[in-house]
Amino acid sequence: MLAALWTFMTPASVRAQSGNDPPTQPEQGAIPSGGAGAIRVPAQNAPEETPAQVTPPKIIHFEPSPYPPEAEKLGLEANVILQLDIDKDGKVTKAVVTEAVGHGFDEAAVQAAQKFLFEPARRGTTPIPARILYRYGFTLKPSTPEGQPTTDPAAPAPPTDNLRGKVLSIEGDVPLAGATVDLENLQGEHAVVSTGADGSWAFQGLAPGHYKLTLASSGFKPVKAEEDVVAGSVTELTYRLALDEGGIEITVQGQRPPREVTRRTIEQREILRIPGTNGDALRSLQNLPGVARPPGLAGLLIVRGSAPTDTHTFIDGIYVPLVYHFGGLSSVIPTEMLEKIDFYPGNFSAQYGRVMGGIVEVGVRSPNKDGKYHGLAQFDLIDGRVMLEGPIPLLKGWSFLIGGRRSWVDTWLKPLLVSLDAGVTSAPVYYDYQAFVETKPTARSSFRLGVFGSDDGFEVLIRDPAQQDPAFGGNLALKTGFYRIEARYKNDINDALKFSSVTSYGLDRFDFGIGTFFFNIRNQNLFNRTELSYRPIGGVTFHGGVDLALAPYAVNIRFPPPPRPGEPDPGPFATRPPITRSDNNLAWRPAAYLEAEINPSARSKIVPGIRADYARDTTKIDLSPRLSGRYNIVHEFPRTTVKAGVGIFYQPPQFQESDAAFGSPNLRSNRAIHYSLGFEQEITRPLEVSFEGFYKELDQLVARLPNAMGGYDYNNLGKGYVVGTELLVKYKPDAHFFGWLAYTLSRSVRQEPPDYATRLFQYDQTHILTVLGSYRLGRGWEFGARFRLVSGPLYTPNIFGVFNSDAGAYAPLSGLPFSDRVPMFHQLDLRIDKQWRMNGWSLRTYLDVQNAYNRSNPEGIAYNYNFSQSRVQGFLPIIPSLGIRGEF
Minimum distance from CB of 647 to other proteins (Å)? 23
Q: What is the DSSP letter of 793?
A: P
Length of the chain in residues, anyone? 888
Among 202, 206, 377, 521, indicate the residue that binds other proteins (CB under 8 A). 521
Q: Smaller CB distance to other proteins: residue 198 or 511? A: 511
Contacts to other proteins from residues 324-343, by CB under 8 A: 327
Phi, psi of 586 (to 5 degrees): -135, 125
Q: Smaller CB distance to other proteins: residue 594 or 749? A: 749
Among 195, 335, 525, 765, indicate the residue that binds other proteins (CB under 8 A). 525
Contacts to other proteins from residues 579-618, by CB under 8 A: 579-581, 587, 589, 617
CA 321 vs CA 279, 311, 314, 502: distances in Å: 21, 11, 9, 17
Among 192, 683, 813, 838, indicate the residue that binds other proteins (CB under 8 A). 813
Name residue 353's amino acid.
Answer: G
User: How many angstroms separate the CA atoms of 757 and 817, rounded?
Assistant: 10
Among 571, 718, 724, 778, indicate the residue that binds other proteins (CB under 8 A). 571
Contacts to other proteins from residues 548-567, by CB under 8 A: 549, 551, 553, 555-559, 562, 566-567
Residue 154 interacts with other proteins (CB under 8 A): yes or no: no
Look at residue 462 and give its three-state secondary structure: strand
Contacts to other proteins from residues 781-810, by CB under 8 A: 799-808
Phi, psi of 647 (to 5 degrees): -175, 160
For residues 294 and 302, is the Cβ–Cβ distance under 8 A?
yes
For residues 784 and 831, is the Cβ–Cβ distance under 8 A?
yes
Contacts to other proteins from residues 356-395, by CB under 8 A: none
Contacts to other proteins from residues 671-710, by CB under 8 A: 705-710
Among 271, 272, 364, 462, indicate the residue that binds other proteins (CB under 8 A). 462
User: How many angstroms separate the CA atoms of 174 and 693, rounded?
Assistant: 34
Minimum distance from CB of 421 to other proteins (Å)? 7
Contacts to other proteins from residues 724-763, by CB under 8 A: 752-753, 755-757, 759
Q: Smaller CB distance to other proteins: residue 646 or 879? A: 879
Among 11, 294, 321, 453, indicate the residue that binds other proteins (CB under 8 A). 321
DSSP letter string, 326-346: GGTSSBSS-GGGEEEEEEE-S
Minimum distance from CB of 386 to other proteins (Å)? 29
Contacts to other proteins from residues 864-883, by CB under 8 A: 864-869, 871, 873-875
Phi, psi of 45 (to 5 degrees): -105, 10
DSSP letter string, 468-494: S-TTS-EEEEEEEEEEEEEEEEEEEEE
Among 398, 512, 614, 775, indicate the residue that binds other proteins (CB under 8 A). 512
Residue 757 C-alpha from the chain's centroid: 38
DSSP letter string, 645-703: EEEEEEEPPPHHHHSTTTS-SSPPPEEEEEEEEEEEEESSSSEEEEEEEEEEEEEEEEE
User: How many angstroms separate the CA atoms of 826 and 849, rounded?
Assistant: 14
Q: Smaller CB distance to other proteins: residue 404 or 474? A: 474
Which residue from 255, 206, 213 is spatially nearest to 230, judged by alpha carbons? 206
> For residue 731, what are the contacts with CB-CB under 8 A and spacing of at least 6?
686, 687, 737, 738, 739, 740, 773
Q: Which stretch binds other proteins (CB under 8 A): 68-76, 123-131, 166-174, 509-517?
A: 509-517
Site size toward other proteins, by CB under 8 A: 112
Among 421, 493, 601, 625, indicate the residue that binds other proteins (CB under 8 A). 421
Residue 862 interacts with other proteins (CB under 8 A): yes or no: yes
Residue 473 C-alpha from the chain's centroid: 40
Among 225, 526, 634, 816, indicate the residue that binds other proteins (CB under 8 A). 816
H or E segment to which residue 166 belongs: strand 161-169
Q: Smaller CB distance to other proteins: residue 366 or 468? A: 468
Minimum distance from CB of 716 to other proteins (Å)? 16
Residue 653 interacts with other proteins (CB under 8 A): yes or no: yes
Q: Which stretch binds other proteins (CB under 8 A): 160-168, 191-199, 392-400, 568-576?
A: 568-576
Residue 886 interacts with other proteins (CB under 8 A): yes or no: no
Residue 666 interacts with other proteins (CB under 8 A): yes or no: no
For residues 209 and 199, is the Cβ–Cβ distance under 8 A?
no
Among 173, 270, 380, 508, indicate the residue that binds other proteins (CB under 8 A). 508
Contacts to other proteins from residues 180-239, by CB under 8 A: none
